[in-house]
């Protein structure tokens, strides 16, 4: 009896030893189902995470905005002579136009635009349609229409086109005051003519100016890829609302380098309304050429800061001339608004209505002087 008990104990001991050896090398069948269930659980978690990413995509915003974004194809006819000899002034002096063998060729360019009203008004960049004799618009579903130019504003690089007798899907205009640096944005357009394309980025900066792109600058900067052909296209927020018109890129190669600029929707709306109503944009003007206050100029004028706009010259018989402004004056305040630089002066004056009186505070020598003058209408480019 005692011997049998000893044999049983040895058998159990060997059995446990074998069990642990098999478990150590991964051959334990008792835990196989449990391990498999754990792996499946992880995969289910990964899949649900992917689904959450899809739900948080920008597909809804794109679906909302993309029907309102169009491609613009322009044609420009150029007369040229196949032989440069016929263009020689000496030759033409004697023979006139009797040997005029000049021919016509047509060049075209691509850009983008945005439908802003359901009756066919389209906003784009001025440089997209500049000098165009024919303008063709292609909608997102491939339909082509001829468009007419309603008006343009070269100083903000904006233009308004019109497609007649159509009901089109117009985009919803966003609110620039709700846009912040770091917000996600989408650029929609037709880069390089490949077709409607969406790129994503963030707002890299607001109120960018002094870039030399246009006269009146207040750009949204974004790292959403903007390439040639995107000009005039839409910059939209995550709701698909229009927050800007893509206008320019900073590039050394001609391609996107992650620095793009869009005209903010508040400026677009203001310019567009004037063009639709009047065909052009009216701005205030006082007739001065200004210069930025550098550190050297600040010291020479004995100023405490660089704020202000130095008058470099005054147009004769202009509102500034009639109001008593002189070269060397420094404008520091207009209608109780501080003037930080020349761009600020230009913007404030341009927003004033012709015939409106404005109060100006200047520094002349060591004195502060207050003047009042009546704003005139700013001459339009090309007029």
Indicate if 231 belongs to the active site.
yes
Q: Which of 15-29, 214-228, 304-318, 367-381 has the weakest average pLDDT?
A: 15-29
pLDDT value at residue 236? 95
Mark whether 149 and 225 lie in a shared domain: no
pLDDT in tens, 287-344: 999 888 888 888 888 887 878 889 999 999 999 999 999 999 999 999 989 988 888 8
Looking at per-residue pLDDT, the higher value among 249 and 83 belongs to: 249
**Is 61 among the domain residues?**
no
Mark whether 309 and 220 lie in a shared domain: no
What's the rounded mean pLDDT across residues 45-67? Answer: 65
pLDDT value at residue 52? 37
Q: Which helix (H) or strand (E) holds 162?
A: strand 158-162
Mark whether 307 and 244 lie in a shared domain: no
What's the rounded mean pLDDT across residues 48-63? Answer: 63
Q: Do the beta carbons of residue 259 and residue 250 sit within 8 Å?
A: yes
Split at pLDDT 50, 70, 90, the class of 222 is very high
Catalytic residue among 109, 127, 223, 329: 127
Backbone angles phi, psi at 185, to 5 degrees: -140, 160
**Is 169 among the domain residues?**
no
* Cα–Cα distance for residue pair 264/287, rounded to 1 Å: 27
Indicate if 127 belongs to the active site.
yes
What's the rounded mean pLDDT across residues 150-175? Answer: 90
Percentage, residues of the chain above pLDDT 90: 43
Q: Is the dihedral of CA 316, 322, 328, 330 positive or negative?
A: negative
Percentage, residues of the chain above pLDDT 70: 74
pLDDT in tens, 65-89: 999 999 999 887 665 555 555 555 5
Q: Do the beta carbons of residue 109 and residue 127 sit within 8 Å?
A: no
Domain boundary among 262, 278, 294: 278
Looking at per-residue pLDDT, the higher value among 5 and 43 belongs to: 5
Mark whether 77 and 108 lie in a shared domain: yes
**Is 382 among the domain residues?**
no
**Is 59 among the domain residues?**
no
**Is 57 among the domain residues?**
no
What's the rounded mean pLDDT across residues 135-151? Answer: 92
pLDDT in tens, 290-304: 888 888 888 888 887
The domain of 128 spans 66-162
pLDDT value at residue 166? 74
Q: Supply the CATH number for residue 191's domain.
A: 2.40.10.10
Catalytic residue among 68, 109, 157, 223: 157
**Is 56 among the domain residues?**
no
User: Tokens in use for 160?
Assistant: 């308004």
Catalytic residue among 68, 109, 204, 231: 231
pLDDT value at residue 246? 94
């Amino acid at each position: 009896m005692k011997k049998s008990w000893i044999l049983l104990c040895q058998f159990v001991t060997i059995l446990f030893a074998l069990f642990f050896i098999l478990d150590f090398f991964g051959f334990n069948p008792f835990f196989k189902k449990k391990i498999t269930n754990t792996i499946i659980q992880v995969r289910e978690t990964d899949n649900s995470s992917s689904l959450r990413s899809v739900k948080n995509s920008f597909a809804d915003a794109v679906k909302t905005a993309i029907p309102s974004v169009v491609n613009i194809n322009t044609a420009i006819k150029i007369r040229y002579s196949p032989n440069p000899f016929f263009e020689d002034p000496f030759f033409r002096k004697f023979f006139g136009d009797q040997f005029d063998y000049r021919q016509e060729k047509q060049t075209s360019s691509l850009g983008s635009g945005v439908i802003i009203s359901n009756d066919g008004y389209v906003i784009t960049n001025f440089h997209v349609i500049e000098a165009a004799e024919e303008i063709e618009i292609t909608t997102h579903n491939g339909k082509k229409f001829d468009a007419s130019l309603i008006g343009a504003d070269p100083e903000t690089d904006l233009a308004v086109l019109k497609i007649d007798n159509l009901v089109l899907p117009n985009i919803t205009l966003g609110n620039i005051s709700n846009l912040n640096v770091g917000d996600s944005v989408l650029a929609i357009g037709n880069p390089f003519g490949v077709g409607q394309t969406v790129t994503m980025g963030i707002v890299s900066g607001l109120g960018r100016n002094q870039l030399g792109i246009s006269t009146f600058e207040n750009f949204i900067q974004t790292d959403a890829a903007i390439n040639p052909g995107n000009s005039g296209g839409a910059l939209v927020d995550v709701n698909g609302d229009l927050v800007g018109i893509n206008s320019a890129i900073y590039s050394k190669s001609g391609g996107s380098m992650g620095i793009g600029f869009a005209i903010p929707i508040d400026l677009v709306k203001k310019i567009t309304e004037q063009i639709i109503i009047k065909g052009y944009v009216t701005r205030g003007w006082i007739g001065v050429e200004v210069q930025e206050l550098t550190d050297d100029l600040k010291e020479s004028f004995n100023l405490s800061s660089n704020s202000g706009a130095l008058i470099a010259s005054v147009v004769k018989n202009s509102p500034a001339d009639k109001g008593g402004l002189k070269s060397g004056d420094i404008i520091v305040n207009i209608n109780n608004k501080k003037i930080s630089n020349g761009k600020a002066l230009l913007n404030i004056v341009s927003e004033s209505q012709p015939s409106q009186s404005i109060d100006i505070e200047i520094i002349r020598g060591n004195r502060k002087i207050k003047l009042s003058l009546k704003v005139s209408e700013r001459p339009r480019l090309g007029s």
